[in-house]
Amino acid sequence: MATYYFNLKGEPATPFTVSGEEMVSKGRGIKAIAPEGIEAWRLSYNLSTKAVDVAYEGLSEEDAIAKKLEDDVAEAAATLQAEKDARAANEAE
């Protein structure tokens, strides 16, 4: 396990002690224990549970990147479809 510092929104900020402790001392950061070897983009601090969440937990970094890409493509397709449906509904009125 490793120490990681998050901003007050729960987003990853820094793994570095000096800058992280400065954030915490100024009330702008949260210090938490995170799993070792996980890239920062996969980490978030859950303000409700006060614990570190790992996106795509259990997947290797390579598999997590592939899954994120797949999720992003699916989300973009859903957004495009929703916009298309909204335009069609507006045209029908």
| E strands in 1-93 | 2-7, 12-14, 29-34, 43-46, 51-54
**Interval 25-81: pLDDT, tens:** 999 999 999 999 899 999 999 999 999 999 999 999 999 999 999 999 999 999 999
**Interval 10-19: pLDDT, tens:** 999 999 999 9
Average pLDDT of span 76-88: 95
Domains of the chain, by residue range, sit at: 1-55, 58-93
Q: Which tokens go with 9?
A: 């929104």
Contact 36, 2 (CB under 8 A): yes
